[in-house]
A and B are shown apart, each in its own frame.
Chain A
């Protein structure tokens, strides 16, 4: 454990932790923001982009996240697009997780009884109001457990960014291991960081679900 008292290693781990938190936060927020309009669009019976979205969702969920990250990391320069490692990894992780979030929200919307939107229409509500006031809050309530556990998956997924040249928590640990050969100590410490992040997300889920529960109101 004395190895970890070295301030330069402490700094490395701290920087890695910030990068992990940054990547996770951006991916969780952006993929959720993108998933909602896609899920709402998929509620239309017809639409030009339906097939595009279905195809995207299948591809993004069938391909391993690491393959998507490699495609951006090795592929984009081939097309003459030079991105910094961080934006490139963010795009890959967002691409992968938006598809899952969209599917969770979509099945949330589909689980709402049709009578609800019919009733809202009969009351003279506009389509926007129906979605904003009636459908979306319920879809989120139904999809919440899946969305929160997917958020933990995104935090775990951010560790894959270490394989495409990003100095996040896992990458910091491998650097320290290669210098000190203290793999178990370093990796257990890193695991504790990931556990704390996951616990925070689970805590947020309890908070959300207790606020949203119908019986409480």
Chain B
């Protein structure tokens, strides 16, 4: 137990890094996923959309670890060193965009296309229609799938330990190697993940106050 207390500051620092990385990845994937879902809105069979679908299919089918290695080992090969943190953010954001795009696309399908047409007929600029009419409806509709994926993102950050990002599981592994007390460390690690994820879980279980726009 004393061992664990001695390692606690390091584990907490690691937890802060996990939260920070997850927050960056969560935000970037949501923004780009949302933007991509609006590309050629209403013309889902166009070539740009097919390109986006192919991008999404690739990053949803290939393991995160392989994508991570692609940037971590592949970057230096073409003369760009992304480093462990950079590779982690790029890899997980690309995978995140691929998933969030699907979630937002599904939510967007639920909203009648007439709403967009009505906005345009009123002479509103396109971005105003997206921002004021569609986005406020898409976000609540997509919330469940979106937040479920975000919870997964926090857990998937543990994969970054493979490229020596000192997040929770990496420090846990070091702790196990140094003290040979695997269960103590893994219990703390899982406890930390549960602590980070619980607010999201609670938020996700709450009944939506407003599923449809006012």
Q: A residues engaging B (CB < 8 A)? A: 59, 62-67, 70-71, 74-75, 78, 152, 155-160, 162-163, 170, 173-174, 177, 181-184, 187-188, 190-191, 194-195, 197-199
Contacts of A177 in B (CB 8 A): 69, 73
* A–B complex contacts, Cβ < 8 Å, 10 sampled: A62-B194, A63-B190, A63-B194, A67-B158, A70-B182, A71-B186, A74-B182, A156-B61, A156-B62, A195-B62
Known contacts A64-B155, A78-B180, A170-B66; is-contact A70 B73 (Cβ 8 Å):
no
How far is B64's CA from A163's CA once the two chains are assembled, in angstroms?
Answer: 13
How far is B120's CA from A11's CA once the two chains are assembled, in angstroms?
Answer: 59
How far is B66's CA from A174's CA once the two chains are assembled, in angstroms?
Answer: 9
Contacts of B173 in A (CB 8 A): 70
CB A10 to nearest CB in B, in angstroms, measures: 19
Beta-carbon contact of B182 and A62 below 8 Å: no
Beta-carbon contact of B61 and A183 below 8 Å: no
Most buried by B among A156, A157, A190, A198: A156
CB B75 to nearest CB in A, in angstroms, measures: 8
CB A198 to nearest CB in B, in angstroms, measures: 4
B58 within 8 A of A: yes
Q: Which residue of A lies closest to B65 (CB)?
A: A159
Contacts of B183 in A (CB 8 A): 71, 75, 78
How far is B156's CA from A64's CA once the two chains are assembled, in angstroms?
Answer: 7
Most buried by A among B69, B173, B183: B69
CB A77 to nearest CB in B, in angstroms, measures: 9
CB A84 to nearest CB in B, in angstroms, measures: 18
Beta-carbon contact of B58 and A63 below 8 Å: no
Beta-carbon contact of B197 and A194 below 8 Å: no
Known: A64-B155, A71-B186. 17 other contacts (CB 8 A): A59-B190, A62-B155, A63-B190, A63-B193, A64-B169, A67-B172, A70-B176, A152-B60, A152-B61, A159-B65, A170-B69, A181-B77, A184-B78, A187-B66, A191-B66, A194-B61, A194-B62
